Structure 1
Amino acid sequence: MKIEVWQGDITTLAVDAIVNAANESLLGGGGVDGAIHRAAGPQLLAECRALAEIRPGIRCTTGEVRATAAYQLPARYVFHTVGPVWQDGQRDEPALLANCYWKSLQLAEKLDVQSIAFPAISCGVFGYPLHQAAQIAATEILTWQRSHQQPRRIILVAYNAATFKAYQSALAAQGQPIDAPPAPLLPSLELGLPPAAAH
């Protein structure tokens, strides 16, 4: 199993699944959520809208994951996960963020996903401190890796240099060799278009 850190636009990656940092409605939003919906096209919104509501306006609760097709994205699936909004770190935010990674990996194994890309969940407008979030991502992925064979390729996607360094530091702190080769791209990124921001 390979763990890679890559800086760029998650919507350009030709992987089996990309993870979307969604909100509870699953109807799109800002940051990476909006970027994924724009790149996937209107069919993604239509499929999300058709998902059953748990409560009015809520299709996925914090820490949970829902899968849809990826439509115009170069992936097979989009895994929509709702990260926690940072408050003070004492209101289950670490456990909820850990669930986003763990349950995405469980779903990947169930759907026979061989490659998956994660954004920096909750690190945008949700306000999760970057280095703490990176440590949680690294811990969950490395713990999963010890007892599972799939997915074979996990990419942590950084939307800026600070996020890239935070991921590298979190993995290095746990003794993980850092693999940062070029990820598969579409021509749009090679033209220098700005990467999608995190949620």
Structure 2
Amino acid sequence: MAAIEIVQGDITSLEVDAIVNAANRTLLGGGGVDGAIHRAAGPELLEACRSLNGCRTGEAKITPGFRLSARYVIHTVGPVWHGGDRQEEQLLAACYRNSLELAERHGLTSIAFPGISTGVYGFPVARACPIAIGEARGFLERTEMISRIVFCCFSGADLDVYRKNLAAEQ
């Protein structure tokens, strides 16, 4: 049976087939979760990302996980929050949907997401969370391949928002 889990912790240590990297357009590393994933995966990840020629907002690309527990890293570029009038919600939904579809195409059964765009990109967690959970639920209704989706929260406050949103959807 498919499951959605909410955890707090370090996404780089999760035992899943793929972790999602909230990357910038270059895919060449950065701060926050992007930097943490690049450090944990090792320099091979940077080399693999160089061959991908960047990524547009809302799209997703995949590389091996190298030194991570996860076999793969799915890189997606979330939208920068500008107040909600520049298709930020649709672009964020595309990040989750395209990441899940890419995982399915590669035969993966488990995937972990950070809070895409909710850090330095400024997307309000209270608006991002229902989009993330909604895309996950919708995807699980359409597929049997992926059986486990984990949302890995950085802070306790984010964890509370995700738990409340998940409970409200059940």
TM-score (norm 2): 0.97
Q: How many Å separate the matches in 1 of 2:105 and 2:31?
A: 29
Q: How many Å separate the matches in 2 of 1:17 and 1:77?
A: 5
Any residues of structure 2 matched to 1:1-199 within 5 Å, and which? Answer: 1-51=2-52, 53=53, 59-175=54-170
The residue type paired with residue 23 of structure 2 is: A
Point out the structure with the larger helix share: 2
Q: Percent identity?
A: 54
1:19–1:118 Cα contact (<8 Å) kept: yes
Q: Secondary structure at the match of 2:20?
A: strand
RMSD: 0.7
Q: Name which one, 1 or 2, has greater alpha-carbon Rg.
A: 1
Shift of 1:2: 0.8
Aligned residues: 169
1:108–1:150 Cα contact (<8 Å) kept: no
Ranked by relative contact order (alpha carbons within 8 Å, sequence separation 6 or more), the top structure is 1
Q: Secondary structure at the match of 2:97?
A: helix
Q: Which runs of 4+ in 1 moved over 6 A?
A: none
**Which residue does the alignment assign to 1:185?**
none
The residue type paired with residue 5 of structure 1 is: I
TM-score (norm 1): 0.83
